Amino acid sequence: MSKQNLARRVAEAAEIALTTRKYVTFIDVVTGLRWLHSRHVDTWRQGRVATLAELAAVDEDRLLTTAALLRDWALAKGLKPVETPYVAGTRDRRELRFTSGPGQEAFRVHWLSPDLSETRVRKLTEPKVPDLVAVAPLNDWTCATCGDTGPYLIMEDDQPHCLTCADMDHLVFLPAGNAALSRRAKQESGLSAVVVQFNRRRKVYQRLGLLVEDAALAAAEERCLADEEVRLRRRDRDRVRRAEQDVEFQARMAAEIARLFPSCPDKRAQEIAEHAGQRGSGRVGRSAAARALDENAITLAVIASIRHLDTEYDSLLMSGVPRMAARDMIRDRIEGKLEEFRRP
């Protein structure tokens, strides 16, 4: 890839992050370029690798070039640079490294929009101590200290340790699902850790719950019982507000589909927007790019609709044809339908 093409792709990925959140980080760009998956970033933040570069699909020189191109783009946009610490979710809270060489500060810069409020800027620039992370492993493992095992491991000195050796075996597990209880139990607990587990199907680390002190959990439960009715009313109001936001977003997405594909029937455009933009679906319409109405993300949503409704793709899968082979077989049909939808 030429430097010119790389600069264009960096700008596209950065623009999506800026539109979505009004600030851009190096992590936003490399995940947007698909050189790193979010699961790789999670593994790095857990302190399970020495550098982020070990997990990237490109070498360290390409990462340095990308950071420089991001800097050039951000300065041209008038964004404000703020260096932000990156700390591992381990007991020693060591500083995370992006590459093995010098120049780590180039990766730690967050580029902030001048439109950000003072409150938002303050929140983004305040030093943050990350949560301790305990991993519920999928495979057999052995503690580096005692040689035993257990349901959770804590990383220390780049090695896994059981809760007993990490002096955390007095904590109790609180499953995820009750946000108020989890938040309050964490506030009450002098020592706590977030429990995560890798989801092979979705290829991400998912939060399972918290490890907290037993007394802290009891105190949090009492607080939740005291204001349960108020929280229920607030939750109902929030549910209505989110539903209204989804309707508004799906309407904007349908309008953008109609603009990019003027021959796509209005009903079809609305169905695509409703399907792709459904909250919690994980579909392309819920991605940051789609919410920024990025042309490529919108096109992917239309292609997904064509694939399932206008080709024999589903039948090919049911007959045992491998997924990528099936996509190759219907590629011409999809391109033809896209051209049809693009006609004035």
Nearest CA-CA partner of 45 in 123, 101, 126, 129: 129
pLDDT of residue 244: 66
pLDDT grade for 38, boundaries at 50, 70 and 90: confident
Give the angle subtended at the CA of 282 by the CAs of 278 and 288, to the nearest 5°.
90
- The pLDDT tens digits of the residues spanning 180-197 come to 999 999 999 989 999 999
- The model's pTM is 0.58
Structure token pair of residue 32: 């947007």
User: Lowest mean pLDDT: which of 71-75, 184-188, 280-284?
Assistant: 280-284
Torsion of CA 223, 227, 232, 235, to 10 degrees: -70
pLDDT of residue 275: 84
pLDDT of residue 123: 81
Structure token pair of residue 87: 């700390």
pLDDT of residue 158: 77
Question: Is pLDDT at 242 greater than 80 in this prediction?
Answer: no
Q: How far is CA 57 from the centre of its chain?
A: 18
Helix (H, G, I), strand (E, B) or coil at 151: coil
Nearest CA-CA partner of 174 in 166, 163, 182: 182
Structure token pair of residue 263: 């021959």
Half-sphere exposure of 193 (CA within 13 A, CB side): 27
pLDDT grade for 220, boundaries at 50, 70 and 90: very high
C-beta separation of 16 from 288 below 8 A = yes
Rounded CA separation 328/341 (Å): 21
pLDDT of residue 293: 72
How would you list the strands of the sheet with 133-135, edge to edge?
159-161, 153-156, 133-135, 193-199, 204-212, 172-175
Rounded CA separation 139/26 (Å): 32
pLDDT of residue 96: 93
- The pLDDT tens digits of the residues spanning 1-31 come to 688 899 999 999 999 989 888 899 999 999 9
pLDDT of residue 264: 94
